[in-house]
Structure 1
Amino acid sequence: MSADPNDLRPLSPGHFLIGRPLTAPACSDLTATASHRLTRYDRVEQIRQQFWQRWSKEYISELQTRTKWKTDKKDIVPNTLVLIKEDNLPPLKWRLGRVQQTFPGKDGISRVANLKTATGIIQRAYSKICPLLHNAEDYNESLTTHIS
């Protein structure tokens, strides 16, 4: 058997995060290309890119606090670790930040927060931040909410 031993690689975290090893070369954006014009390899890459595009818009949005619709949900409190969504960047390049201050509107519901990042302080709307669970109580509450 003359097959390349490198063909049998173990699954790595990269396979689950971006669909291939983290050391794989970057690919051009194929999401808008007509699928009938692509080679089989490029078509598989296009499907992978479309998956991540949907994942970043749909799944990550599920992690966000929806205070407008869930009035019993806690507000994002200072020191909460958040993922900052950037529309023009892939999810692996999104920054992390910590909430420093929130700004309630006239109705008492906060929709904007100041976030401390590695490069400074920025202000973002709640629609662009995803709170990450920081303790077991929040994790259990989240599981209960999603199951019921």
Structure 2
Amino acid sequence: MGYLQNLQLRRKWQTEKPNLKEGDVIMLRDKDVARGQWPLGVITETIPSRDGLVRTVLVRVMKDGKPSIYKRPISEVVRLVD
């Protein structure tokens, strides 16, 4: 690797983050809604891929007073509490 490439470090995928797990509190990311209005939810089930990492989750969200379950990739959820 050359000198110039070493000046700018790429942080993406350099450190492993813990997998999402059942009971984690999350927000469902929605590009059409302001961030402050993203719905809160709780992960009810994790779906791991072949490599053992969680890639998809089932999320329970209260909508209009009734619970709804959504299946979302982890790129569409934001963990709130570690």
Interval of TM-score (by shorter of Structure 1 and Structure 2): 0.7 to 0.9
- Alpha-carbon RMSD across the aligned residues, in angstroms, is 1.5
1:84 pairs with 2:28: yes
- The residue that corresponds to 2:79 in the other structure is 131
If each structure's strand is expressed as a fraction of its own residues, which one has the higher value?
A: 2
Matched residues, number? 66
Secondary structure at the aligned position of 1:118 is classed as strand
Q: C-alpha deviations, 1:72-92, integer Å up to 9, x for none?
A: x22111111001110111112
Q: How far 1:121 moved relative to its partner?
A: 0.4
- The residue that corresponds to 2:70 in the other structure is 122
Q: Give the whole-Å Cα distance in 1 for the aligned partners of 2:38 and 2:57.
A: 17
Q: Give the whole-Å Cα distance in 2 for the aligned partners of 1:105 and 1:92.
A: 31
Q: TM-score, normalised by structure 2?
A: 0.73
Letter of the 1:74 partner, please give it: P
Percent identity between matched residues is 24
**Uncovered stretches (5+) of structure 1, i.e. residues with no partner:** 1-67, 139-148
1:108 pairs with 2:57: no
Q: TM-score, normalised by structure 1?
A: 0.42
Q: Which runs of 4+ in 1 moved over 3 A?
A: none
Which structure exhibits the higher relative contact order, with contacts defined as CA atoms closer than 8 Å and separated by 6 or more residues? Answer: 2
**Uncovered stretches (5+) of structure 2, i.e. residues with no partner:** 1-11
If each structure's helix is expressed as a fraction of its own residues, which one has the higher value?
A: 1
